[in-house]
Structure formats: C-alpha cells, structure tokens
Chain A
Amino acid sequence: MAQSSNGTNNFKVVLLGEGCVGKTSILLRYIEDKFNEKHLSTLQATFLNKKLNINGKRINLSIWDTAGQERFHALGPIYYRNSNGAILVYDITDQYSFVKVKNWVKELKKMLGSDIVLAIAGNKIDLDHERAVSLEEATQYAEQVGAKHYHTSAKINEGVEELFLNLTRDMLERYESKKQTEVTRSSRVLVVDDEAPPPSSCCSSFMGA
C-alpha cells in the first residue's frame, strides 16, 4: 500500500496460521484497550484498524485476520495479496501448527517474494511446560527465512505489542529502503539510456552460436 497524499503510510498486515493457535486472541489483545467497548461487536475480530505514530511517522495499520481452517486454505492468496506484512502464528504446544507456518512461509515467499515482511510468533508461551516446538528450532528457522521470531502470549499479554511495533518498524524500514532503491535504479536507468542500446538479443546470439 502506497503512501497516501497526507504523508500517512497505509500498511496491511495479515495474520496467518492454523485454526486454534490464537491469531484472533493476539489481535484482540493488541487493540484490547480501545475506548469503545462496543467496537468489537460491530466490527468482528476479522478486521481492525490502528493508527500509529512512530517518531513522527504516521502509520495506518490495517490488520486482517484470516480463516485458519484447512478448508479455507485455498482462499489465502485473496487475503494476503497486497499486504506489507504477515504475522505467522503457531502454537508452541502444537508441532503441526509450526509445520503449517513453514508452509505459509514457503507460499508467501513464492507469491510475494521479498516484498513482504514476515514475523513468526510462537503463541501461548504461558504453557511453556507443554512446549512441543523447541525454541532453537523456531528461531533458527526464522533466521533462515529472514523473518523475526517473537514469543507471545495473548493470555498474559506478553510480547504482543512488541510484535506489532517491531513489525511496523520493519515495514517502514523496508518501505523506505525500497523507495530509495527505486530512486537509485531510476537514475541508473538514465545512465544506461545514455549509452547505445545493446544490439544483441538472446535469439541473435543463439543463432550466431
């Protein structure tokens, strides 16, 4: 989502993960201290909007919750297209949910490339004694795919705000660096333009060979 005219960045974030890992709870915890108690009942917990101001930069965060059940898996692309960030949630007590996260990462990388900022969240750390996904494995995997790993617990409100704040910062950084490279790339294109265009094409060289 591009920057709108008044200098506000609109970022779209999708929450992905298997059924009962607590995506919705994380989302609710994050906007829990909203002033309007009727807010949730009118908007459902599927779409929420939050305005942030980080060091004077305005960010309008749209957070989309997605369906986690397997039968809706095919609808993923409809939801995550055009998103700037994705939070991949797994349940630390459920090995399978972590496998699902890996699948999502693969899919996102394939579909969106590096345009999307990934955050992997191991939820339910209040149930650490039932942990099934080892900490090393998770952090190592996150590092490997270039995602940040977070520990959260929606129940005891741990790590949730940090998760969103850091993700927003990363998205902002990614957005600005991308803008930067676009500027440099366009200038480079100009330089190329000055030279004579390379005459060979793949076909001609092939025929020559």
Chain B
Amino acid sequence: MEGGYDEIISDNPFFVAFKSEYMEIFQHCIAQSWIVCVPRVGSLNTRVFAIEDFCAHVLVPSDELPETHYSTLTEKQVTVANKVISLEVTKGLPLQSHILFEETFYTEDFMKYKVWCIESPLEPTSNVGGNDVTKESLCSINDCIDLLWTQAAGRQVLDQIDLTVQLFIKKNPVLPYAVGSLKVTISELYTHCLQVALQNKRLRDKSKASKHILENIKLAVECYMQQLIFDYIFKPICTSCSYEDSHLNKKIRNMCDIQLRDLDIKKELYHAVPKAKQILSKIDSYNTVLEKVLCLKQALNAINENSNSSNAMLLTADDLLPVFVFLLIKSGLPNWYSQLTYMKEFQFSGIGRGDGDESIFLITTLEAVIEHIQSGALAGPPDPESYYYDSNNSDDSISSCNQRRNSTTESISTTETTGREETLDYVFDLIKANHTEQVQALLERNRKHLNNMQDNEKSAIKLSLDEMDNDDDDSDVEIYQKLCHPLCNCKKCCQKLSKNLLKTSPTISSRDSHGLTPLHVASIYGKAAIVEILLDMGADVNATDLNECSPLHYSASRGHQNALLLLLHSGADINKANIDKNAPLHMAVNNGHLNCVKALIYFAEHGRKQIIVNCCNGNGNTPLHLASKWGYEGIAKLLIENGAEPSLQNRNGKSAFDIAHNYKILQVLKSSTPSLYEYIHITSADIKKLNLKNDNPITQKLQSLKIRNDRNKASKTVENLKRIERILQAISYGDIKLACFYMNINYDNYTDAKCDLKDPLCHPLCECNNCKTVTVSTISDFDVNFCDSNGYTPLHHAARYGLDELCKILILNRANINLSNRKGQTALHLAALHNKSTTLRHLLDCGANINAIDFSGNTPLHDACEVGNIGATKVLLGYDPDLNMLNASDKTPLDVAKGKVHLTIIDLIEKYSNKASIYK
C-alpha cells in the first residue's frame, strides 16, 4: 500500500543534526519554504554529517515549474515525478530515490515547512548504509511468505506457524459460531503465531532494529495464518451471518436486473464498470484480509481509470457509492455480509497503519454500500403486493406514475401524435397504478371496437362487391351514424371509415417491444384484481415475452402470491421454462419469495399437477441449488420436504452441498427426514388478512377456487402427516376446541350460533349482509378434507367418536361428507359401526349417502346389523335405506343380522320392510 512506511522524522539523526548544527541554514529554508529531504533512518550509516550533506538535501523549487522541478543547494537539478526524485548526475543514469512520505511542520511562530522522507540519500558519493532495503509494502500472500522467508533466511518460521495452526485446529475441532468468541479465539492464535515467529533470532533482531520491519512481520504473520486457517474459520463466520446474508441476497436478487442509469451513475464511468466488476468478483478467491482490502481498492481504482487519461476526473463519494452499489449487486457473490464481517473483525495487526486508515475507509465504504442496499432505499421493484390493499383509494394521478416510469425506463416516448389513451403504455400505466375499472373499461371498449372493425371490414368488402344493403347490422351503428348516409362513398366518409380501420387500440393481447402483454404487466406489479379481470376477459395465461417468460414467471420472481395463485388456477403451466430454462419455481426461489414457493408447491399438491421440484435450469441448477447458494434456509427446508434432492449436480459438477456456504443450510440439506412441525399450511395467514375485507372480490374468488379444488378427494399431504396426527388425536380425545384450533377454524364462531344447518340463510341464494357473513367469514380456508395414511378424515374421526358438534363445524367448513377411507368406509359407516345415533342422524340430514358401500360391499346398515347396534339401525331405517343391497358375500343387511342372530334388529328390519311394502 502506498506510504506504508512511517517513521518519526524528529527522531531521525540526519534531521536532528541538521536542525541543531546548522540552525541558520535550517531557519532560512523554513523562511523560504524550501523542501527538506530526510533519508530514512538506517539508510545513512555515518553519524557525522557535513554541511554539503545537508545542502544536497534541500530542494528549491524552480521558477517555471515549482511543482516538479527543483534544484538542490548544491546546484544540482532535481525532478520529481510519480513519487520518485531523480537527481541529474554527471555520468551514468540519474540517481533516483522514492519519496516515502511527506510531513508538514508548523513551528510555534506559525511558520510552515515540508519534509520529505526519502528512501536513499540524494548523494551519489555517499556511503549507502542500509543493507536490507525493506520492500515498501506487502501486497499479497506471496509477499508475506517472501518476507518471512528472506528475513528469517529460511522457511523455519513458516514451518513453525504451520505447526501452530495445525495444533490449533486439532485442539479446536469445532469453532464457536458467535463472531465475538471466534474473534477472541483467533486473536489468541495470532498472538501465538507471532510469538513463534519472534522466537526466531534473526527476526527478533531485525524487528528490534526497525519498527517498520516489525510492522511488516506482524502483517506477514497474520496473512500467512489467515491463509492457512481461512477455510476453517470462514464457514462459522458465514453461519453467524447467515441471516443478514440471506436477507441481503433477497434484496440483491430482486434488483438484479437493475441498470446503471437507474442508479444515477455518471455516464463517464460506464466503460469502467465491467473491469471493476471483474476485479471485485474475485474478492471471494482471496483468503487474507489484506488481499481482500486490496481487491476493494483495485476495484475502486478501476472505476476511476480513465480511458483517455488526459484529464483524470475526480470522483466524489456521491459518484462512487452508486457504482459500488451496482458492482455489489452484479457481482453475484452470495455472502457479502460475511466478507464484510471477516474484513472488519479479523485483522489484528492493524494493516496499513502507516497509511492512515485507508483500509478502514475501504471497509467502511463496503459497509455503507451494504447498508444502503439493505435499507431498501434503492428504486427496486415495489414490495410484493404493496399496492394491493390500497386498491380502492389509490386514486393517485397517473401522471406521478408516468414520472416514475419515465425515470426508471426511458423507453417511453412522450411525444405522441395519437391520444395518450390509445397507446399500450397508457394501459400499462393504468395497470401499474391499479386503476382496475379504467383498465377494464378501456380494454372492453377496444375489444368491441376491434370486433366492429372486423365486421365492418367484411361489410365494406361486401358492399363494394354486390352493393347490397345490410341494415340489420346494428353493431356498428355508431360509425354509420356519423356518415352522410350508410352507403355514402364520398371522400369524407371514406376517410372516416379508413381512419377507423387504421385505428390501433391496445387490446388484451397487445404486446409491447419486449413482448409483454397487459397480463404480464399486471403480474409483474402484483395487481391481483387486474390479473383477475384480464383472465376473465380471456387473456392468454401462458403468453410469453421475448425471454419466454410467462406471467407466472414474473409473479413468482416478484413474490406476488395472490397473482400467482390466480394464474395457477387459470391453468398457467406450472413447469414452463423460460429462455434460461428457469421454471417459475426457480424464479421464486432465486428471489427468496418463500410465500410463492409455498404457493407453487401447495397448488401442485392439491391441484393434482406435477411440479418438478428437481428441474434444472440452463446451468443445471435445481431450485435447491439456488436456495442453498443464496442461503434461504426456509425455502431450502421446504424444498427438501417436498422431495428436492440435494445431491444432484449442476453443470459445474457442484451439488447443493458444495454450494452451501454456511452450516445452517448444510444442516437443512442433510436432514433427510423432514421436520414436519415447521410445515405451515400456506396462505392461511394471507387469506386471513384478506378476510378483513369481506367484500373483496379477489378474496372470495380465491377461496372459492381453493375449495373447488379441494372438493376432488382427500388430499394426500404426506408432509402434513404429523399435523394431521395431532388433529386426529385431538378429535379422538374429544377436544373439539383444540382440533378447531389446529384446523384454523374459529371455534367461537360456532358456539353462539349453534349453527342450525337447516336455515342459516334467509333464502338459499340470499346475498344480504347477514347471510354473507354466515357463509363467507366463518369458513376457514383450511382444507378439512385431509386424511391420514389410512384415509381417515377429521369427519371420519368425529363420526367415529360421535362428536356431533365437530361434525357440524366440519360440514360447515366444507368437509366432504361422502369421502371414504382406505377401506371404502364413509363417516356414516363409522358412525353406524360405533352406534352413534345422533351423529348418524346429523350426517344423514346433511346429505350423507345412506347406501354408500365400502370395499367389502357393506352399506352402513350392513355394519349396524353386523355389530348389532340397535340405535344405529333405528336411525338408518328412518332414512329409507335400500334393504336389498348385497354385500361382497351376497348378503342383505337382514341376512347379516340373521347370521349374527341379533333378534331385535331382525325384528326392526322386518317391521320396516313390511311397512314399506304396505306403502308401496
């Protein structure tokens, strides 16, 4: 690093001698503000200085070029360029000396003079003393090894440090995760290494002789130690920073398509960005703090490197920070926060001390940049569905929206000859501003117009061919009314007609230059209401833009769960690959949207669609690779639970294990047995939130969609087994409240109403407020039709244990009353088997199929007869069962009862059949 050398000038023997012995000359120099050069300590080995020595080291600026040209008091010409003093000598090459640093002195009487500390004396004849010219600064691990090797004349010191570190690793097989204690441990190791190094006599003597050498040795030891131990300590650091890292990654991923102009970066700097980016992304490959800091510095310098070096532009912090932000976003490194922590906390020797705090400054800059990204102050995409809830009152003028759009993408040309209303951009802006009705009205109108035009065209052709009258065409009355006469052929009318024909209005399937349809835009901005409208109007749900991205891709990558679900329910292709072979799941995972990942998986599970959890994108990465790389713990867990395979390799031959950079993720990957307790049924929270607004059409739509979907059959949520077990257990204990709690059903809603199923509504189709609250708000979104491994649903259990109240609640929550378990038994079968007469009655009232048969052909009545349940038989007979049903052994219920000799039952059935035959 620049100016790494430092010494106390006022202790330098040359300077001391000059000041004390030749006071007058010295004072004169000060008065004239000439520059005094002081050879660094040790470079002159004489103790006695003559007056010529001093005069040779006083520089008098020349009149013409006071900055670069000087002459000494011994009349020699001196030039200064790039920190090097060149002295003209009579023969041979000019004598050169490095300027190590400059120090400005202020005397008590406010005189000011400058002293340059230089590498070697400015005298050709002087006896050069210092035997070892210290290298100015250490720049890499190789420099450090070099220094330790040469200064100790052999590799003993290096070997000693190796040994110390190895012993340390052996002694501490597991390091603490907390950065604080890790730092203490490592600093202890560092001190130990330094002790070992200084045990070498040569090193000790040299470091005693010069402070500068001691500093360099400290730094070299530290670097060498870091090099050895880096792999060992970086994972713990990453682990403790995993939370910050994954959050930062999520922020960065969601901004990854940000452009230079979005950050207000000076145009002059554009060309330097690729190079700087290349340099910065290498920071990962360095192991030592020293090299990492240097890497930062080089990247900063690269930004400033001007292609035409004629006028180097000066960069202020205002210019630099945005570039740095951009570089960080584009660097693709998954662990910036850990890198920062490592640099900030794990330098012990105080690198670059002589350089002031430049390394601290660089690290602080990095910290500031990370902080800036974290704070979300950047103009990234808006928060998922942030505009969603204020859909009703977001009457903010479109102009503000236009401004935003103009500032982010400059693609809009604001000079339009046709009305603003007629451009696709206008429609897109409306969508972004969430002006639901306007979008609908406009597109509706344009569609009508388009249809008119098509009809009109036909009729126009027709007219020109056989000049027939078509007065029954009423769809385009408007246009015809404007004409002089429906068949007029005058110029004016023709113009009007052709104008209408030429009019290009945006419709539902129009596309912009990127191939984006209105549905794409609505999905990008998460406008669920508009997505719904567009879908209703028949928008193509699988339309792709130039990157072959469907609206589903966008809603997944932006984290808009509601829009995503609407698209899925409208039949969007869940596994569609875009141009990079990324499926929507990849997009959601890459940007860290846990809610969307859950939605995708959940939908696939319940919608009987196959989602390929292990699908590969263009780089061979599965979604799990991405989750592992960016450190999204929750998503990784979810993927694993749903069958993601962590050992799959991508194109670079790396598995998710290889990509993971902290232990937390590794643990998730290793957990082959999924922890089901963590599995949360998706959207329950979201729907609950939506429920606050009862009259929200989207809410109702979503709910009805979900329910329609669930009606198919009992869900096979293998992942839910544990939870299901808990619920079923609660039911078997008869704890209805607990079961309701588990199922997300608000038990209290049902206690007071005591829901009389018969007539809760004023009228079956009534939509008054009272009825709505009964039907909509009390219904939980939780799918109560789940089942355990034997196919038992909660309703089965409730019936089995005779919990009438729970049965009611479940049925109110859309439990499918006729679901069968693995043996083909419905809830009614179980109630009959266990003689729960009230439950039987209740189930039958709610429409349970009395003649349902299980896999051995038994109806509930068969079962009741078999076991001899008199109460159950009575109830069943009250609901007109088919007495002639034969089971697998060709027996009617009566046969069964007879076989078991249940006399009462035989009696009951016979009475019933007699009665029935009488009525017939």
Contact = CB atoms under 8 A, between A and B. Distances in A.
Interface in B152-211: 211
Contact of A54 (B67, B106, B211, B377): B106
B356 interface: yes
Given A8-B8, A58-B8, A72-B321, A51 B314 contact: no
Interface stretch (B365-373, B400-408, B505-513, B654-662): B365-373
A159 B99 CA distance: 28
A66 interface: yes
Given A7-B8, A37-B67, A74-B375, A49 B316 contact: no
A44 B301 CA distance: 8
Contact of A47 (B6, B306, B321, B358): B358
A62 B314 contact: no
Interface stretch (A28-36, A96-104, A121-129, A181-189): A28-36
Contacts of B355: 49
A33 B605 CA distance: 72
Interface string B285-326: 000000000000000110011100100101111101100000
B82 A38 contact: yes
Nearest to B68: A37
Contacts of B105: 52-54
10 contacts: A35-B80, A36-B99, A41-B304, A52-B106, A60-B356, A62-B357, A67-B321, A74-B372, A74-B377, A75-B372
9 tightest Cβ-Cβ pairs between the two chains A and B: A49-B356, A41-B312, A67-B317, A62-B356, A51-B103, A47-B361, A53-B105, A75-B368, A24-B316
Given A49-B355, A53-B106, 14 more contacts: A6-B6, A6-B211, A19-B318, A23-B316, A34-B102, A35-B116, A41-B309, A46-B315, A52-B106, A53-B10, A53-B104, A72-B317, A74-B371, A75-B371
B101 interface: yes
Contacts of B99: 35-36
Contacts of A45: 314-316
Nearest to B35: A35
B106 A46 contact: no
Contacts of B372: 72, 74-75
Contacts of B103: 51-53, 58
A171 to B, nearest CB: 14
B101 A51 contact: yes
A45 B313 CA distance: 10
Nearest to A38: B82
A69 B318 contact: yes
Given A34-B102, A51-B103, A56-B10, A72 B367 contact: no
A52 B67 contact: no
Interface in B116-159: 116
B581 interface: no
Contacts of B83: 35-36
Given A8-B8, A55-B108, A72 B318 contact: yes
Given A35-B80, A44-B315, A74-B371, A55 B358 contact: no
A50 B774 CA distance: 77
B606 interface: no
Interface string A53-82: 111101011101111110110110011000
A43 B368 CA distance: 18
A52 B104 contact: yes
A115 B799 CA distance: 75
A165 interface: yes
A204 interface: no
A42 interface: yes
B350 to A, nearest CB: 9
Given A35-B83, A53-B103, A68 B371 contact: no
A67 B316 CA distance: 7
A40 B318 contact: no
Nearest to A63: B356
Contacts of B6: 6, 8
A10 interface: yes
B397 interface: no
B364 interface: yes
Contacts of B721: none
Contacts of B67: 33, 35, 37
Contacts of B320: 44, 46, 67
A149 interface: no
A4 interface: yes
B30 interface: no
Contacts of A148: none
Nearest to B321: A67
Contacts of B874: none
B102 A51 contact: yes
Contacts of A33: 67
Interface in B345-393: 353, 355-358, 361, 364-365, 367-368, 371-372, 375, 377
Nearest to B106: A54
Nearest to A33: B67
Given A36-B83, A46-B317, A10 B106 contact: no
A56 B3 CA distance: 21
B9 interface: yes
B107 interface: yes
